[in-house]
Amino acid sequence: MRLELGNILINDVQFGDKTKVDNGTLYVNKEELVELISQDEKIKNVDVELARPGESVRITPVKDVIEPRVKVEGPGGIFPGVIAKVDTVGTGRTHVLKGAAVVTTGKVVGFQEGIVDMTGPGAEYTPFSKLNNVVLVCEPNDDLKQYEHEKALRMAGLKAAIYLGEAGKNVTPNEIKEYENLPLLKSVEKYPNLPKIAYVQMLQSQGLLHDTYVYGVDAKQTLSTLINPTEIMDGAIISGNCVSACDKNTTYHHLNNPIIHDLFEQHGKEINFVGMIITNENVYLADKERSSDWAAKLSEYLGVDGVVISQEGFGNPDTDLIMNCVKIEKKGIKTVIVTDEYAGRDGASQSLADADPLADAVVTGGNANEVIELPPMDKIIGYTEPVNSIAGGFDGSLKEDGSIVVELQAITGATNELGFNKLTAKGY
């Protein structure tokens, strides 16, 4: 499968009479976008705000972040099975508004939602402070259940991203990047002397409000399976979960998975990136056994020499991570696991809830329990009241002057387990 991503570089976002891209600026017709999102009868009220890098703006509680894209050549459409029809994506050309994002916020859905500061110390911990953000502030109907509330915000964000992405359909990209995976046997034939590497991505799926969708199907209803990495780069996987903000994979993370990009970068040079396995994270032991058995079996079937495994979430998913690692290692396949740590505020506690001697190659995204003070901002988009109760916050986190004291756990993307951040650690 061969995919071209045409990146249209966005340097600014402004409201305008017409939604368009002009000379690196994304202009947004606010009234038109509000009308689009208001068509959902589950949303009582919606407003649209803009947040640019360096501005004294705090966005909270953040639900999801989505990159605007539009399919211009090839089969399928963006977010297949959810917005577009269920056609296989990952081929042709997709235009990307690189440097822009849709952020969804509003009344808190679940306690594991986060904070994005556009300037100050908090901005250094989230990649979304570097983007020109179109923020949807959604107020749902009062009688909605949590899962209905989550879905309403999820769909609002996806619709807004599609709407904005259309503005780039007829724009000449600033750059075009090509990604291709050959069929397995042809790939091995082309690079016979390079180590064969696969990527196992664990998808959060641990019950209500812990959902990830693959072509519109909740990942908890799936078995471990093969998928082409270009499909993920083209919108096949979206976020629908409320895990801790620091290591949550937003839809933006899935679209821009740095492990996929890095493996492609080394493909045909130092490694042969032969393919990808997605597997879910489960609550019950039998389900964990089943999924990890399948991930190991598929890794063996591919005949790979090494595997990179990434996790989403912490605590219970640590068991899924270690089970995947150990079972693949016992197949004679070397593994590297990518995770983060909950090592206590002093960093002295056990980092993961599970461990094994075979898990001896680890990349960490940092310690989510580290405490940070966020100074007051001139403007708040959303609501600050939930800060005292979201994961990483505590009673008294929100100060009278508007400053916030929280663990990094509360900052969206701070310790992301795809490595989409600046934090790590070195072992000695």
Residues belonging to the active site: 242
Sheet containing 57-62, strands listed edge to edge, beginning at the edge strand earlier in sequence: 114-117, 57-62, 379-382
How far apart are alpha carbons 395 and 392 in whole angstroms? 11
With CA atoms as reference, report the closest residue to 10 among 230, 155, 161: 161
The bridge status of strand 404-407 relative to strand 114-117 is unpaired
Cβ within 8 Å of residue 392, ≥6 positions away: 114, 244, 245, 246, 368, 406, 407, 408, 409, 410, 411
3-state secondary structure of 76: coil
Tell me the one-letter amino acid at 39.
Answer: Q
Q: Name the residue among 54, 52, 420, 382 with its Cα closest to residue 259.
A: 420
Q: Are 129 and 116 in contact (CB under 8 A)?
A: yes
What is the DSSP secondary structure assignment for residue 215, as one 8-state letter?
Answer: T
Nearest CA to 47 out of 59, 60, 34 is that of 34
Q: Is the dihedral of CA 161, 411, 247, 141 positive or negative?
A: negative
In contact, 394 and 231? CB cutoff 8 Å: no
Q: Which amino acid is at 149?
A: H
Q: What is the bridge-based pairing of β-strands 92-98 and 2-9? A: parallel
